[in-house]
Amino acid sequence: MNFIHAQTTINGSVIDNETSEPLPGVNVIIKGTFSGVSTDFDGNFSLTTEQSFPITLEVSYIGFTTKSIEVASANDAVNISLAPGSDALDEIVIAASRTPERIFESPVTVEKFSVKQIENTPSADFFNGLGNLRSINMTESGLVFNQVSLRGFADVYNEGLVTLVDGMNNQAPVFGFAFGNLIGLHQLDVQSVELLPGAASALYGADAYKGIMFINSKNPFDHEGISVMYRTGVTEQDVAGSNSFTDIGVRLATKLSDKWAIKATIAHKEGTDWVPGDYRHYNIDRSINTNENYKTQFSNYDGVNTEGERTFTTSTIFDALADLAGNPALAGFSDLSPNYFDPITSPGYKIADLYGTDTYNTKGNFAIHFRPDSLTEISLQSLIGTGKAMLPTGGMMYNIDEVVVQQHKLDYKRGGLKARVYYTHEDAGDTVAGLLMGTAVANSMPNGLLDGYGTPYLQTYLGTLAASKGYPAGLAGVGALLGDISTHIMGTVMTGGDPTPLAFNDLFGGSTAFAHNNARAVADPLLLQPGTSDFNDAVASATRLTADNLGTGARIQDISKVYN
């Protein structure tokens, strides 16, 4: 038995109904199928199909109202006129109910970022331009790493927002949140962005309790050709000054035949990242606000955007004095007077010194599409992204470096039937945690932080105070000072007083700041200095060693795979 499929050709034209001018590039498709063409320069089209009549054609063009035309036979004269007007409410979305429908028919609010809006966005790229839509805020963590925030949540861990790039959830397996557009689509390949603010758990699972965002790429059957984009600009920052950035993208798409089409998009963006510049004092008691006027030479100065500080408390200082004097009993004084000494905090390293300020993002989108018939489309797609960017969180700064995220998808569509399988692979690369990096570099100084920094600091501090009392230089003077401390604490205890509120500063009129200044002048230069080979070697060593090497490693090692 032979089945013969007769092919018929529909010819027609499309004009502007106000000017009667032909409209080139108008999309003409058979409703419910993948069969379609675009009008030529003169507004004419020729569409071949195996569908039986009557056939409904959907005719759409940017800036004109979409129109549906029923064609009863191939002999019908198909002359179509489109009316200029906003097609915003006529646009098709799928976010609201998982089936195609016009925006005005949607039962919930759907924000759509169309091709025209994408091309005209005044922002650095289309992803930043999403901040111009209602109910949407952009959390800008740097030049290449930004996050969409919905419903008033401005946390980089905006885990309640599901982001689907061509149907694939781009949540990073190890970090547990979407990577923004670090892995995703370049502006050249974006067809549309749909945002559904608010809970979408019923349709998309419990993860979508804040909302869901669809980022859809262009189909190579419908969008052929070569597109190239080069963008450059200058960023301004008080701390980092003026710095240029570049954004380059290339898209190639072509139909190999009526059944096969391929596309490839490659993009690279690089520049100088936002440099953390808040170095105000960060109180040990985090419930107390940062101090604008706190001096960096104060003994317990702890900058907001510095990492690797170590605070020597009264207990630590008494332990060191017990070792210095060979008198273990001194260690017990911290139980009697727990806040006897000023806290001493070693200086931390600036985030920019630990990580550098360069940032980049390289990504690609590769796909092959197959249409065995007018109702069916099968595609194989790969998204690959890598980059370097600072990631601030509530308690720590991470440096995402050479992270590689891959997503590979097999997609099947036939009419209303859709099936999709994909898998996500993530390699954290040289990603490090800032707190661990700062600690590891500080510990790399000769003799380590406790002996290499703490001992010279304490000896200079006590020596300065001993000299102020006229005691001899060296250990003899320090020994005399230790006698004063013992008398101060034990004398109070022996007379029935409470030693808890006692302070070492009481022996010197309430302040020993002058001695702390001398101690910092001696101890601070002993730390590894940024820009030196020893400092760079320490950073490289901490990057190689994983975080489970406490005190020496900072690398977040992870190679994760998720199948969907």
pLDDT at res. 293: 54
pLDDT at res. 396: 75
pLDDT at res. 289: 54
Q: 62-100 burial string, b = 16+ CB within 10 Å, else e?
A: eebbbbebebeeeebebebebeeeebeeebebbbbeeee
Q: What is the pLDDT of residues 482-532, one digit of tens each?
A: 999 999 999 999 999 999 999 999 999 888 989 999 999 999 999 999 999
Cross-strand pairs, 16: 82
- The dihedrals phi and psi of 497, each to the nearest 5 degrees, come to -85, 170
Comparing 81-85, 215-219, 220-224, the range with the smallest average pLDDT is 81-85
DSSP secondary-structure letter at 281? Answer: B
Q: Is the pLDDT of residue 102 over 70?
A: no
Q: Is the pLDDT of residue 258 over 60?
A: yes
Residues 92-274+357-429: name the CATH superfamily: TonB-dependent receptor, plug domain (2.170.130.10)
Q: Closest Cα to residue 390, out of 444, 353, 441?
A: 353
pLDDT at res. 313: 92
284 falls in which pLDDT band (50, 70, 90)? low
- The yes-or-no answer to whether 8-82 and 92-274+357-429 have a common fold is no
pLDDT at res. 359: 92
For residues 200-214, average pLDDT: 70
Query: Coil, strand or helix: which one is 229?
Result: strand
Whole-model pTM: value is 0.77
Q: Does domain 8-82 have CATH number 3.50.50.60?
A: no
Domains of the chain, residue spans: 8-82, 92-274+357-429, 311-345+446-526
